[in-house]
Structure 1
Amino acid sequence: MRSRFRALALPALASALVALAASGPASAQDAADGRAIAERWCASCHLVSPDQETAMDGVASFREVAARGPLAVSALEAFLADPHPLMPDMALTREEIADLVAYIDSLAN
């Protein structure tokens, strides 16, 4: 019974691994897409880009968030997955969150 299972399972497993390898790496974070998301969803409260001039008082700019360091930036992924009650329900995908975090991180440079 085991040898029959192996005879059936191993070729299927090998095919799956080949297909996975051929599909290439997962998409990387895209800071440009993150900026577009920030301008659409976040700019009404936060300063999201260097060329933006106004934002709500007392709300951290994206540059300030980025300056807090990599740990704070990486914590944003969890925060954005379950937004603060004062934030709109953006319902961002994991990829959009990664892009937004990549954009914020790019502002630290």
Structure 2
Amino acid sequence: MTAIRTRRQRPMMTSHGRWGSFALCAALFGAAPALAEGIGDARAGREIATSLCSQCHQIDGSGRDSSRVPPGFGAVADMASQTELSLRVFLQTPHGNMPRYQLTRDETEDVIAYILSLRAR
């Protein structure tokens, strides 16, 4: 006769992990941009942005006019509310005239890292 093993139920906090709570707190309190340097490869993000986004956006960081439509990546990076989380949500949500690109998780992280690297210091 074989024994039946059951998995122990984990509390909600543990199943989502402490890192999820940390990321949420970091996003809410503005620490996410400081952590964003480790989320992706900014150089790869620039290559993706050059091939997919440069037809409409200024991707080199020189376009810092927030009233320009569509905004340059420099203006996007400089938005006070901009975080890794807000960029991730934006990149995964269809918007108006913007083409619907299906980025992989790594591509998304690379583009986020690139945009946040353009933030004026």
2 CA distance for matches of 1:51 and 1:67? 11
- Which 5+ residue runs of structure 1 have no aligned equivalent? 10-26
* Contact map agreement 2:39 2:113 (CA 8 A) in 1: no
Counterpart in the other structure of 2:113: 102
1:5 equivalenced with 2:4 (yes/no): yes
* Contact map agreement 2:77 2:118 (CA 8 A) in 1: yes
1:91 equivalenced with 2:97 (yes/no): no
Aligned amino acid, residue 96 of structure 2? P
User: TM-score, structure 2 length as denominator?
Assistant: 0.58
**Cα distance 1:58–1:28, how it changes in 2: closer, same or farther (>3 A)?**
closer
* Contact map agreement 2:58 2:73 (CA 8 A) in 1: yes
Counterpart in the other structure of 1:36: 47
The alpha carbon displacement at 1:76 in A equals 1.4
1:34-66: CA deviation from partner (whole Å, max 9, x where unpaired): 1011001110111001579xxxx6321101111
The alpha carbon displacement at 1:81 in A equals 0.8
* Contact map agreement 1:66 1:105 (CA 8 A) in 2: yes
2 CA distance for matches of 1:43 and 1:31? 16
* Contact map agreement 1:77 1:97 (CA 8 A) in 2: yes
* Contact map agreement 2:61 2:75 (CA 8 A) in 1: no
Aligned amino acid, residue 3 of structure 2? R
1:62 equivalenced with 2:73 (yes/no): yes
1:73 equivalenced with 2:72 (yes/no): no
Instruction: Detail structure 1 runs of 4+ shifted over 3 Å in the superposition.
Output: none
Aligned amino acid, residue 4 of structure 1? A
User: TM-score, structure 1 length as denominator?
Assistant: 0.64
2 CA distance for matches of 1:73 and 1:38? 18
Q: Which structure carries more helix by proportion?
A: 1
2 CA distance for matches of 1:73 and 1:39? 21
CA-based RMSD of the aligned residues comes to 2.9
